[in-house]
Amino acid sequence: MVAGPVLADPGEMAYLVLTDRAAPYLLARVRWPDVAQAITVGSPDWLDDPGLFDLPYHPSAVKVSFAQATSVAAGWGRQLSAEAAEDVPSFIRRMPVNWSDLSPVERRAYGLESVGRKRVSARRLRRLRSAQAEIGAFLPAAAPANGHVAAFAGGVPATGANGRSQTADPTGGLSSVAVERRHHVRMPVDGRAHILWGRATIAVGLVDLSEGGVQCVLPEASRMLAPGAALGSPFLLEAEVTTSRICLDVASRISWSRGIRASTHFGVVFGELDDGETEGVQRFLVAASSRRGSR
């Protein structure tokens, strides 16, 4: 597990991703009126596309920080710089782009013919559920997993950054252990999370993850990770030994925080994930747990 420092956004360029079941498949950088470029999981070479100027206003686009965009690009074998690429090919359209339903020509231009076809196999999903059941069976009845557990429960409805209805807990996010264990058993995960904090990005290590939340560790003492604090959206999670990455555009809150030696351990509880994000977390857990078990 490797975590990094707090990284500030270097400039005015906007970075956006499109996701399929929470997995990023297109990364764009846009700055009106001179920069509109994108790479994809299937074509990691920059392409100029004036249609990208519409992307920041599309409901399916997720705005990410420079640090989060750097992680996505690295997963596709590209090092992201703060400046636009020069002398790259252009994609010229005859009609406005619909980013939710790309035409066959557009999908070929971006190398996206296979995106959206793969799903978690039933066998691998059964293995994940079996492992979750085994972990849940060993959890003490009166003690939360990893010392602390939280979930959004009760409280006042709120609206997250993605427009979905969320529920905030007036106690700062803490809820009953039984609710968390019954619905979301945490799985150990090796990897990193890139979390927005104001205009900066915190790179932290992952400890465990479920559809309900995540436990992280920052390798330094910190007072800003206080229980009850809301975190910016989105969350970007990357596995340690695979190229798996997921981007969760979901409201979240720090549920607990504790200093251990020179590091800060803390729990984050997610708001309601949509169906695609839920499947994305499951796919991420399958990939991370299968590689973890084979080492």
pTM of the model: 0.77
Query: What pLDDT is stored for residue 198 in this prediction?
Result: 83
- Evaluate whether 287 touches 239 at the Cβ level (below 8 Å): yes
Same domain for 215 and 287:
yes
- Evaluate whether 69 touches 80 at the Cβ level (below 8 Å): yes
Query: What pLDDT is stored for residue 241 in this prediction?
Result: 77
Weakest mean pLDDT among 15-19, 142-146, 196-200: 142-146
Over residues 176-203, the mean pLDDT reads: 75
Over residues 49-62, the mean pLDDT reads: 95
Weakest mean pLDDT among 104-118, 121-135, 159-173: 159-173
Query: What pLDDT is stored for residue 8 in this prediction?
Result: 57
**Residue given tokens 């990691």 in the structure block:** 44
Question: Model confidence over 265-275: pLDDT tens digits?
Answer: 999 999 999 99
Of residues 96 and 236, more confidently modeled: 236
Of 80, 109, 138, which residue is a domain's last? 109
Count other Cβ atoms within 10 Å, centred on residue 159: 11
In this predicted structure, the answer to whether residue 224 has a pLDDT above a threshold of 90 is no
Query: Is residue 115 assigned to a domain?
Result: no
Axis crossing angle, helix 275-294 with helix 122-138, rounded to the nearest 10: 80
CA distance 240 to 99: 30
Query: Is residue 116 assigned to a domain?
Result: no
Query: Is residue 1 assigned to a domain?
Result: no
Strand-strand pairing, 156-159 and 165-168: antiparallel
Query: What pLDDT is stored for residue 75 in this prediction?
Result: 93
- E strand intervals along the chain: 6-8, 14-20, 23-31, 35-40, 47-48, 62-64, 156-159, 165-168, 187-197, 200-210, 213-218, 230-239, 245-248, 252-260, 263-270
CA distance 260 to 221: 8
CA distance 182 to 165: 22
Range of the domain at 66: 6-109
Say what percent of the chain tops pLDDT 90. Answer: 55
Query: What pLDDT is stored for residue 146 in this prediction?
Result: 36
**Dihedral angle over CA of 181, 183, 189, 194, nearest 10:** -110
Indicate the residue type of 100: S
In this predicted structure, the answer to whether residue 85 has a pLDDT above a threshold of 80 is yes
Of 109, 142, 159, which residue is a domain's last? 109
Question: Model confidence over 1-54: pLDDT tens digits?
Answer: 445 555 655 558 999 999 999 999 999 999 999 999 999 999 999 999 999 999
In this predicted structure, the answer to whether residue 159 has a pLDDT above a threshold of 70 is no
Query: What pLDDT is stored for residue 126 in this prediction?
Result: 62
CA distance 13 to 183: 40
**Residue given tokens 């997995």 in the structure block:** 23
Same domain for 146 and 90:
no
Over residues 95-118, the mean pLDDT reads: 86
Pick the closest to residue 285 from 204, 205, 190 (CA basis).
190
Of residues 166 and 20, more confidently modeled: 20
Query: Is residue 183 assigned to a domain?
Result: yes
Over residues 163-169, the mean pLDDT reads: 38
Query: What pLDDT is stored for residue 186 in this prediction?
Result: 86
- Evaluate whether 6 touches 197 at the Cβ level (below 8 Å): yes
Same domain for 141 and 78:
no
Query: Is residue 103 assigned to a domain?
Result: yes
Of residues 199 and 29, more confidently modeled: 29
**Rounded mean pLDDT of the chain?**
79
Over residues 122-132, the mean pLDDT reads: 60
In this predicted structure, the answer to whether residue 166 has a pLDDT above a threshold of 80 is no
In this predicted structure, the answer to whether residue 294 has a pLDDT above a threshold of 80 is no
**What is the count of structural domains for the chain?**
2
Residue 163's CATH number: 2.40.10.220
